Amino acid sequence: MLNTVYQLKRPRQFEAVFKNVELDSEHVLVRPTYLSICNADQRYYQGTRDKKVLKQKLPMALIHEGTGRVVYDPTGTFHIDDNVIIIPNIPTEKDDIIEENYLYSSRFCSSGEDGFLREFVSARPDRLISVPEGMNPLVAAFTELVSVGYHAVRRFDRMAHARRNVLGVWGDGNLAFITSLLLKKLFPESKVFVFGKHRQKMAEFTFADRTYEITEVPEDMEIDHAFECVGGSGAARAISQIIDIIRPEGMVSLLGVSEEPVPVNTRMILEKGLAVLGSSRSGRKDYEGLISLYRRHPEIIDYLENIVGARIRARCIDDIVRAFETDIYKMSGKTIIIWDE
């Protein structure tokens, strides 16, 4: 059957193309319903990625955060009209050591593979997770981003030493909000301190034990472990401050994405014996763990509602452009595209 795919042809220019989607016995057909714009989507849309990358990956449909409604399932895994979260990472092999989101062979929607800006998404059943009953669909739309934070915290829990009296999170955007919230729920005995630039944004971090502007950190501040959720031009300063403040043998988890290389004070990493842990994307086990956490702590979803930003109903390319342009000038929060049928 023909499928309408809304591809980004070049920065700020979408085009509707028609592709054939096979109806076979191994894939579930999903109609996207709620889609969330990520900063990675914006780097393609605005053309701020390296020109070689843009030339290599475009044209391509954007969006890798979203939910949909099942319209056809020959596998019997779901029922028609079930609401599902779509997992963008597509592994093509299994490895006993390396997780699916780090395998070179894995494919990822909206990064060299069409994302969810299309009429239908054909997915293996293991790339779909049922939306918990009664969950706010606007929050469900950015489950992928929350799973990225969950993945980083899970890796930290496995690899960091056991002294976790004070955990520091650098950043005051969506990822920092999510990561600090997850830390507080998963490690209730630990204090979570947030370090950011914007006092107004940090006012939303009501669950944190303390928040600090990065220019007003007490000289005697010490933390056991740190999470860098800044990325971009602010990453170098954040990492430098972390290295200064963190206790010896702490772990520095890096989550922020930067297009350019970031200078790091390796001498102090050596002298303090720090562990540096990179985390990127997520896999099915992170979605499963996150949904289980939602069931144990439904208040997490209530907190996440605070970062729902603009809501744009879309039926055509002009609506998609309006959503992306609105997202550029947002103060904070996640821009959600409500995909009208």
The type of residue at 88 is P
Within 13 Å of residue 239, how many CA atoms lie on the same side as its CB?
26
Question: Which DSSP state fits 223?
Answer: B
Contact 190, 167 (CB under 8 A): yes
Contact 338, 313 (CB under 8 A): yes
- Quote the CA–CA distance of 223 and 215 in Å, as a whole number: 17
Domains located in the chain, CATH noted: 2-144+282-297+307-339 (3.90.180.10), 147-278 (3.40.50.720)
Token pair listed for 272: 């303090």
* Residue 259: per-residue pLDDT: 86
Which whole number is the average pLDDT over 11-38?
A: 96
- Is the pLDDT at 327 greater than 90? The verdict is yes
- Quote the CA–CA distance of 185 and 296 in Å, as a whole number: 10
* Residue 1: per-residue pLDDT: 87
Q: Dihedral of CA 103/105/106/108: which sign?
A: positive
- Quote the CA–CA distance of 170 and 219 in Å, as a whole number: 17
Which whole number is the average pLDDT over 184-200?
A: 97
**Which of 79-88, 137-146, 164-173, 259-268 is predicted least confidently?**
259-268
- Is the pLDDT at 341 greater than 80? The verdict is no
CA angle 90, 67, 1 (to 5 degrees): 70
Which whole number is the average pLDDT over 259-271?
A: 94
Burial class from Cβ neighbours inside 10 Å (0-12, 13-18, 19+) for residue 203 reads exposed
* Residue 189: per-residue pLDDT: 97
Does residue 175 sit in helix, strand or coil?
helix
Considering only the C-alpha atoms of the chain, give the largest distance between any 2 of them, rounded to a whole number of Å: 64
Which whole number is the average pLDDT over 85-110?
A: 97
Task: Report the predicted TM-score, pTM, of the whole model to 2 decimal places.
Answer: 0.97
- Quote the CA–CA distance of 171 and 177 in Å, as a whole number: 8
Burial class from Cβ neighbours inside 10 Å (0-12, 13-18, 19+) for residue 263 reads exposed
Contact 317, 6 (CB under 8 A): yes
Contact 198, 161 (CB under 8 A): no
What is the separation, in whole angstroms, between the first and last Cα of the chain?
17
Contact 141, 124 (CB under 8 A): no
The per-residue pLDDT for range 139-186, each reduced to its tens digit, is 999 999 999 999 999 999 999 999 999 999 999 999 999 999 999 999
Percent of the chain with pLDDT over 70: 100
Which whole number is the average pLDDT over 290-313?
A: 97
- Quote the CA–CA distance of 178 and 146 in Å, as a whole number: 6
Mean pLDDT of the chain: 97
